[in-house]
Amino acid sequence: MKKWLKMSFACFLASILIIALAACNNNEEVQTVRVAEVTHSIFYAPQYVAIEKGFFEEEGLNIELTLTPGGDKVMTALLSDGADIGLVGSETSIYVAAQGASDQVINFAQLTQTDGTFLVSREKIDDFSWDQLNGSTFLGQRKGGMPQMVGEFVLKKHGIDPHADLELIQNIDFANITSAFASGTGDFVQLFEPQASVFEQEGRGYIVASFGEESGHVPYTSFMAKESYMEENKEVIEKFTRAIYKAQKWVEESSTKEIAETIQPHFADTELEIIEMVVERYKGQGSFATDPILGEEEWNNLQDIMDEAGELPERIDYEALVNTEIAESVME
C-alpha cells in the first residue's frame, strides 16, 4: 500500500512538472508584438479580424495594440523603439526617408487600398454635384496627411481649387473634427466611418460622395517597421504578415454581417447595425486590400497625389521603402 502511494505521489509530481515545463515552453514560444495604429477605425477591419479569429495566436504572436493618433506620432513611436510595427499611411515612410533617416521605415504589408473618408454635407442634397462646394466652408483633414491630400486631389479633379474656390479649414486636430462639425463648423466635412454614418443616422449630416471611389487605388494604410527590426525579427514579420493575409482572405469570403459581428468587440460603443453598414460600404468600394502586397502602380499613384498637394519632399523609389518578398512568400 505504501509502495503504491509513493508511486502515485511520484506520478502526480511528475505530471505537475510536465505541465509546468509545457507552460514555460508555450510562454517562450509566444512573442509579443507592439503595434501602433494611427486611428481606431472599422476601416481597419481585417486587423481586428486577425485578432478575434485567433490568426495571430495561431502564429504564436501576442498583439499589443495601441492607439497612436497622428502619422507623426506613429513614426516617432517606431523610430524611438516605442513600437515594433506601425499601421499608418505610407506617405509617412516617405517623409522619414526624405529627412535622411539612417534606419528606414519599410512598408511590408498593405491593409487598405483606397481612401477611407466620405464627403458629408450639413444639408440633405438629393442631386449632388462637386461644383456645389464652390463658395462653401469645407472642414478638411490635417495638412500633409493622406486624407487631406486625397481630398485636395479629388477636388482638383473636379475643377475646384481648394485654396481659392472655397474656405478650407484644416487646422483642427483629427480627434476634434467630428465635434467641430457637430457644433456648427463647416458646410461640408471629410469624415471617416463610422462617424459619417452615425451623423447620417442622427440627421446631423448626409453622405454625398466617397473620396475612396474618386481617388482610385493607393497604399492608404500599411503595416511598416524599421529596417533593422525587420532584419532582426524576420520570422516575426513573416508570421505577422501571414496572420494578416489569413484575415484578408476571410474578410473577402465572408458576409458583411459575419465581419461586423466578429469585430464588434473592438467597437463596443457602436451599434452592430452601424458597423455592418460601414463594412458594407468599405467592402463595396474595395477599400480592404485582398492581399498584403503593395504594388508599384499604387506607390506611384500615392506620390502623384502627394505631389499634387505640394507635400512630396522628393520621389522615393518603390524598392527603397517597399518590401513585397515577405507578402509573396506567405501567399505561396
Query: Does domain 117-215 correspond to CATH entry 3.10.20.30?
Result: no
The rounded distance, in Å, linking the Cα atoms of 237 and 231 is 9
Domains 29-114+218-331 and 117-215 share a fold: yes
For 208, phi then psi, to 5°, come to -115, -15
Please, what is the end-to-end C-alpha distance for the chain in angstroms?
Answer: 60
Say how many C-beta atoms besides its own lie within 10 A of residue 238's C-beta: 18
pLDDT of residue 323: 98
pLDDT of residue 29: 82
Helix (H, G, I), strand (E, B) or coil at 332: coil
Architecture of domain 29-114+218-331: 3-Layer(aba) Sandwich (3.40)
The rounded distance, in Å, linking the Cα atoms of 119 and 268 is 25
For the chain, give every domain's residue range.
Answer: 29-114+218-331, 117-215
The rounded distance, in Å, linking the Cα atoms of 262 and 48 is 8
Residue 285 buriedness (CB in 10 A; 0-12 / 13-18 / 19+): middle
**Amino acid sitting at position 223:** F
Per the listing, cell 502627394 goes with 306
The rounded distance, in Å, linking the Cα atoms of 304 and 123 is 33
Tell me the CB-side half-sphere exposure of residue 6, using CA atoms within 13 A: 3
DSSP output for 120-159: EESS--SS--GGGGTTSEEE---TTSHHHHHHHHHHHHTT
The closest alpha carbon to 211, from 187, 184, 185, 193, belongs to 193
**Alpha-carbon Rg for the chain in angstroms:** 23
Binned average pLDDT, 10 residues per bin, the chain of 332 residues? 47 46 54 96 97 98 96 95 97 95 96 96 95 95 86 94 94 86 95 91 94 91 98 98 98 98 96 96 95 96 92 96 97 92
Asked if residues 34 and 68 have their Cβ atoms less than 8 Å apart, the reply is: no
Strand locations in the chain (E) = 31-37, 61-67, 85-88, 105-112, 117-121, 137-139, 167-169, 188-192, 206-210, 221-226
Asked if residues 244 and 292 have their Cβ atoms less than 8 Å apart, the reply is: yes
DSSP output for 62-82: EEEEEE--SHHHHHHHHHTTS
Cell numbers placing 230: 525587420
pLDDT of residue 28: 54
